[in-house]
Amino acid sequence: MLAYSIRRVVQSIVVLLVVGLVAFSMFRFVGDPIDNMLGQERTDADIERLRGELGLDRPFVVQYGRFLTNAATGNLGVSYRQGRPVASILMERAPATLELAAVSGLFAIVLGVALGVFTAIRRNGIAANLIMTISLVGVSLPTFLIGILLIYLFAVELGWLPSFGRGDTVKLGGWSTGFLTSSGLKALILPSITLGLYQMTLIMRLVRSEMLEVLRAEYIRFARARGLRERAINFHHALKNTLVPVITVTGLQLGSIIAFAIITETVFQWPGVGLLFINAIQFVDIPVMAAYLMLISVMFVGINLIVDLLYFAIDPRLRVDRTVTEG
């Protein structure tokens, strides 16, 4: 167990380092930050001086090494765009993204499971078929278009919901939350739907197909034969057994909700880390790009590591395999 865990942790660290290396080798193709940092009046001498000061004239491997040694001491560098430490900018932006991700995740799970069960039980009903058809739209339309359509309908035409921003936020310690004000809650609705729609349809279709499978299983037939009520069969016996794969997929999807909030945040001017990253790319703000990419890869690698270790704990066959190959 210990050897396996250590091996997995070491592998994860290697993956992280490789992600960082690839990221740094790509930054040169994003462009040159110097022009954005100096005004129009800069001379060629200024450019050379700043490039030297920032170490941008050195090979990317050296720049990467410097980033790593600094990051190891907790220093993520200073944003080229804002002139402030990257760590404090990320801390300031994280609550917006996490709250958005949490609400859209909740929206996707609750509605996804509910609609999935409904469409599975009423397989041939008109409403179920309608939902299935509409859900195709959710899968096939790009996020930014859905966002713009929602803004047009609910903000411009109906005037019910705000078209951008987070509304009023309340500071709780270092955490700014939009949950405690009515404008903050209203502002969450459209971006959460936009961000969660794809996940919702995914979960819905997954629940539906799993449900249909389970409903054909023998123990359901036995339950019916025993004369149990439909409700009890559907929600107690069938749904419970459907949820195992759904939870696995949902867990992994939560990571991508955070990572792919970029587009939703841009459309709704949501002041989270995704918007920060988009601005960083446009400005070639290398410290912010590097920190964001590392953060996202730490998150994904972390989730996968936990899943792997859990499998190991749960599935005894893995243990047997190891001892055999190692023996």
For binding to another protein (CB under 8 A), which residues are involved? 29-47, 53-54, 75, 77-78, 80-85, 88, 92, 148, 151-152, 155-156, 159, 162-166, 266-269, 271, 275-276, 278-279, 282-284
* Shortest Cβ 239–another protein spacing (Å): 39
* Shortest Cβ 45–another protein spacing (Å): 5
- Residue 97 tokens read as 């993204």
Nearer to another protein, 152 or 219 (CB): 152
Nearer to another protein, 92 or 308 (CB): 92
Distance CA 104, CA 195 (A): 6
Dihedral angle of Cα 129, 135, 137, 141, to the nearest 10 degrees: -170
* Shortest Cβ 195–another protein spacing (Å): 15
* Shortest Cβ 157–another protein spacing (Å): 9
**Contact between 276 and 93 (Cβ < 8 Å):** yes
- Residue 173 tokens read as 């310690």
Nearer to another protein, 214 or 289 (CB): 289
- Residue 55 tokens read as 């170490």
**Contact between 292 and 84 (Cβ < 8 Å):** no
CA distances to 93, 94, 296, 308 from 300, rounded to whole Å, are 19, 16, 6, 12
* Shortest Cβ 5–another protein spacing (Å): 35
Nearer to another protein, 168 or 230 (CB): 168
| Number of residues that make up the chain | 327
Nearer to another protein, 113 or 187 (CB): 187
Nearer to another protein, 58 or 224 (CB): 58
* Shortest Cβ 85–another protein spacing (Å): 6
Nearer to another protein, 148 or 303 (CB): 148
Distance CA 114, CA 118 (A): 6
Among 100, 108, 3, 78, CA closest to 291: 78
Distance CA 250, CA 210 (A): 14
**Contact between 288 and 294 (Cβ < 8 Å):** no
* Shortest Cβ 112–another protein spacing (Å): 27
- Beta strand 170-172 pairing with 175-177: antiparallel
